[in-house]
Amino acid sequence: MLDVKFVRDNMELVRRMLTNRQSDLDLEPLLKLDETRRSLLVDVEEKKHRRNVASEEISRLKKEKQDAAGLVEEMKDLGREIKSIDLRLSEVEHEFREFLLNIPNVPHDSVPVGRDEKDNREIRTWGEKPVFDFEPAPHWEIGEGLGILDFERGAKIAGARFTLYWGAASALERALICFMLDVHTKRHGYTEVMPPFMVNSSSMTGTGQLPKFKDDLFKLEGWDYWLVPTAEVPVTNIHSGEILDESMLPRCYTAYTPCFRSEAGSHGKDTRGLIRQHQFNKVELVKLARPEDSYDELEKLLDNAETILRELGIHYRVVLLCTGDMGFSSAKTYDIEVWLPGQNTYREISSCSNFEDFQARRANIRFRQKGRSRTQLVHTLNGSGLAVGRTLVAILENFQQEDGTVVIPEVLRPYMGNMKVIQRGVMS
């Protein structure tokens, strides 16, 4: 959520921002609502003041045993007026807030202006595409061939976009989670948390999933509970409504959670394999930082996420998203795209963003600086570190051998009872 005062004072900038984001949102209604809201506020507050003064007067008169009936009558009328203005005010305020909640964040100056993913800017690459002396297979063929990924039964148990892992695949998934958490906690200094996997509407609004992206979420019938689409939601909201001490910043949290997404609007896209599932595992990195540090923290967070792929020895590239391709809440986003030889393409495996104070204003996360009386909003950041399912995909495709087996990266072997190669399993 943007600050109204900022919108009011920077109309041209905000309009340009909306154009750059390919949005045709008209800001006029917002200004109108803001004006109405403030004039009602001035009116009702003045009336409340009068009432407060009169109430004291009544109390005084009564103490002195004098007649206050006239004043009481007058105040009855005033009370009715106040009530009706308050009612209108709350309607206007609600509408006003809804509008504000639907305006996307302003991209940082360093973000390239562009239409779609074709205008994203490649920042760097790491490693090289592996060379095969055979035709590399896509992961679904490898997984089914080894008997460790069972798409048919996943669909039978739940439906499309659900997969059953067997044996080495589930062990590998578990190993990846442990490995990632260990790297981030022991080497990068993050604190591990395990949050609720369902959250309420207020948390979803805090990080920006609601109200605009309701259709992408799974909601529990009869409850104000939503399945988390990413750990970003519960973890960023850990400090919602709190005022932190400056000495506590930056806060660096890492969390493993499953993620649930409806994938509405992507019918027919990535239907094969593990790329686009309704449920997948992810290790997330979340930071709360001082505004002046947040862009340095973003670079560090990005590097922390890249470390995982470097340790695994898998080729990737880092891409800076352009204005037209960025997420709604983000001010700047880097995607890490991993190389998938079986599909001859790069796929997003992590998205690292600085939201500046956009989420903090919604979730009301502030901090107090020594020597300053005003509280300030923190900056929030997050990134995948990494998407576990897609990492498993990358391992299968990058380390596959001609006989259909897959070599396990060195760093994961201690987590898998020193298994070196995934052989054909016992799916039955």
Partner RNA sequence: GGAGAGAUGGCCGAGUCGGCUGAAGGCGCUCGCCUGCUAAGCGAGUGUAGGGUGUAAAGCUCUACCGAGGGUUCGAAUCCCUCUCUCUCCGCCA
Q: Could you list the residues that contact RNA (CB under 7 A)?
A: 4-5, 38, 41-42, 45-46, 48-49, 51-56, 58-60, 62-63, 72, 75-76, 79, 83, 90, 243, 366, 368, 373-375
Residue of 329, 330, 351, 353 with catalytic role:
351
Residue of 21, 251, 261, 366 with catalytic role:
261
Are 88 and 44 contacting, i.e. CB atoms less than 8 angstroms apart? no
Give the pairing of strands 316-320 and 121-126: antiparallel
C-beta closer to RNA: residue 160 or 243: 243
CA angle 315, 320, 322 (to 5 degrees): 140
C-beta closer to RNA: residue 56 or 410: 56
Residue of 170, 311, 348, 368 with catalytic role:
348
Structure tokens at 195: 């949050």
Give the SS3 label for residue 267. Answer: coil
C-beta closer to RNA: residue 56 or 117: 56
Residue of 294, 329, 390, 397 with catalytic role:
390
The distance of closest approach from Cβ of residue 17 to RNA in the complex, given in angstroms and rounded to an integer, is 21
CA-CA-CA-CA dihedral for 49, 52, 53, 58, to nearest 10: 150
Exposure of 88 in the CB half-sphere (CA atoms within 13 A):
14
Are 408 and 313 contacting, i.e. CB atoms less than 8 angstroms apart? no
Q: How far apart are CA 388 and CA 384, in angstroms?
A: 9
The distance of closest approach from Cβ of residue 51 to RNA in the complex, given in angstroms and rounded to an integer, is 5
C-beta closer to RNA: residue 72 or 193: 72
Catalytic residue at 366? no
The distance of closest approach from Cβ of residue 219 to RNA in the complex, given in angstroms and rounded to an integer, is 17
Catalytic residue at 276? yes
Q: How far apart are CA 320 and CA 112, in angstroms?
A: 8
Q: How far apart are CA 89 and CA 95, in angstroms?
A: 10
The distance of closest approach from Cβ of residue 426 to RNA in the complex, given in angstroms and rounded to an integer, is 26
Catalytic residue at 351? yes
Residue of 276, 290, 368, 424 with catalytic role:
276
Q: List 219's β-bridge partners, or say none.
A: 226
Are 235 and 255 contacting, i.e. CB atoms less than 8 angstroms apart? yes
C-beta closer to RNA: residue 246 or 348: 246
Q: List 336's β-bridge partners, or say none.
A: 318, 350
The distance of closest approach from Cβ of residue 52 to RNA in the complex, given in angstroms and rounded to an integer, is 4
Question: Could you give the residue numbers annotated as active site?
Answer: 261, 276, 348, 351, 390
